[in-house]
Amino acid sequence: MSLDPSNSRATTADRPQHRIRRRTGGPESNTRLTASVAAVLLVLLAAEGFTILRVGRLLTPHVFIGMLLVPPVLLKMGSTLWRVSQYYLGNEEYRRKGPPVPVLRILGPVVIVLTAVVFGTGIALLLGPRSIRAEMLQLHRISFILWFGAMTIHVLGHIVETARFAPRDWMRRTRRQADGAGARQWALAVSLVLGLVLAIAVVPQVGPWLHGGRHVVSSLQR
C-alpha cells in the first residue's frame, strides 16, 4: 500500500468528476453562464415583445431580433441541459447544489419544448413554402401564448438567482472567484455575434415574404 501523498493527489485529480471540473469550472461557473445569458435574453425578449404590439408594421425588427435571439437561446439551453445532465449522472458537486424547486424542475422541459416550437414555427413561417404559412402562423401564435405563460413563471422563479449571479463575471471583485470568466464572456459574445450574422442574413427575406403572402400579412395586422 503506497503512502506517497503525491500519488493520492494524482489519483484524486484523475477522477472523472475532477477532470470535468477542470474543463467546466463546476456548478458556480455553470450558474454564472446561465445567469449572464438569461440577463441578455431578458433584454432582447423585452424588445421582441415590444415589436409584437405592432408586428404588422414592425415585422422587420421582429424578425431581426428573433434571429439575433437564436444562438443565445441555444447557449442557455445548452448550459441548462449540462447542469441537469450532471445532476442526474451523479456529479457530486451538482448533487450537492441540488435541483431546482419541483415546480421549476417540471416546468423546465415544457419551456424548452415551447421555445423550440416558437422559434421553429417563426423560422418556418418566414423561410418555408407558402403552402404552410397559414398553418405555421396559427401554430406560432398558439405556441407563443403558451410559451409566454410558462416563461413568466420560469423568469419569476429564477429572477433572484439571475440578479445574483449574472454580474459576477463582469465585476472585478467577483470575476476571479470562479475559473473561466473570460471563456464564459467569450461564449456569450460569440453567441451574440452569430445571432447578428444570422439576423443580417435573414432580414432581406422579409420584403419578398411580405409581397408573396398578403393574406398572412393581413392576419398579422389584425
Residue 18 has pLDDT above 80, yes or no: no
Cell digits of residue 97: 447544489
Q: If phi over 0 gives left and psi between -120 and 50 gives alpha, with beta otherwise, what is residue 80?
A: alpha
What's the pLDDT at 25? 67
The amino acid at 166:
A
User: Please, which pLDDT band fits residue 11 given cuts at 50, 70 and 90?
Assistant: very low
Residue 34: which of 149, 158, 144 has the closest Cα?
A: 158
Over 80: is that where the pLDDT of 172 sits? Answer: yes
Range of lowest pLDDT (99-108, 165-174, 203-212)? 203-212
Instruction: Please give the pLDDT value at position 160.
Output: 95
- CB-based burial of residue 219 (10 Å sphere; 0-12 exposed, 13-18 middle, 19+ buried)? middle
